[in-house]
């Protein structure tokens, strides 16, 4: 009889420990997502093929409290109209950006991009040199022919305080789960 009571007690203890572990892991995951970043759903195809409309990504808010955005970072920023967008950092504070013959020039030098990046058909404001202030960034979508970005007056140069964080991890769809580069 003592054997069955002891066995039930051990089984109950293991179940309580298991349930406690699950609750702690879920609580830590929720805390991490909310304290260090946020979950963003991609709207539109301006970052295609990297990110498609409906994809869900995690954003690191704290990273830019400790440092500054770097060239080619994928960031979330808040536009003047309060909409949040995801774009790639191309120009850094103090630089001059221009798009000539479909290529991006930073301070007069062509920047090297991935081979799958097509030439830019519409230079927009960057047809002429765009000088960035000490707290401004020039952002472009990866899908340059279908992106509302710093080339256009309704977005323009993005101030540092508008950048909410760096996109670092894609969580949906699960087949695409992984770090965002």
53 is catalytic: no
Parent domain of 73: 2-179
Which one is predicted more confidently, 87 or 63?
87
Tell me how far apart the alpha carbons of residues 60 and 168 are, in angstroms, rounded to a whole number.
Answer: 7
| pLDDT-wise least confident of 2-11, 19-28, 90-99 | 2-11
Tell me how far apart the alpha carbons of residues 33 and 159 are, in angstroms, rounded to a whole number.
Answer: 25
pLDDT of residue 39: 85
Number of domains making up the chain: 1
Catalytic residue among 87, 147, 150, 166: 87
pLDDT of residue 34: 62
In DSSP terms, 169 is beta-bridged to 58, 179
Kindly state the DSSP code that residue 168 receives in the 8-state scheme: E
119 is catalytic: no
- The CATH number given to whatever domain includes residue 119 is 2.10.109.10
The predicted model gives 92-109 an average pLDDT of 96
pLDDT of residue 1: 52
């Amino acid at each position: 009889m003592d054997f069955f009571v002891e066995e039930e007690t051990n089984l109950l203890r293991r179940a309580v420990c298991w349930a406690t572990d699950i609750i702690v892991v879920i609580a830590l995951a929720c805390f991490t997502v909310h304290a260090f970043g946020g979950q963003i759903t991609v709207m539109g195809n301006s970052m295609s093929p990297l990110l498609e409309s409906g994809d869900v990504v995690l954003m690191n808010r704290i990273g830019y409290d400790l440092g500054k955005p770097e060239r080619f970072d994928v960031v979330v920023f808040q536009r003047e109209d309060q909409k949040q967008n995801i774009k790639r950092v191309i120009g850094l504070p103090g630089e001059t950006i221009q798009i000539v013959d479909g290529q991006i020039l930073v301070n007069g030098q062509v920047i090297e991009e991935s081979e799958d990046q097509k030439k830019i058909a519409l230079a927009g404001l960057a047809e002429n040199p765009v000088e960035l202030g000490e707290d401004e960034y020039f952002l472009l979508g990866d899908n340059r022919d279908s992106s509302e970005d710093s080339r256009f007056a309704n977005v323009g140069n993005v101030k540092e305080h508008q950048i909410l964080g760096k996109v670092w991890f894609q969580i949906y769809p699960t087949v695409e789960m992984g770090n965002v580069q």
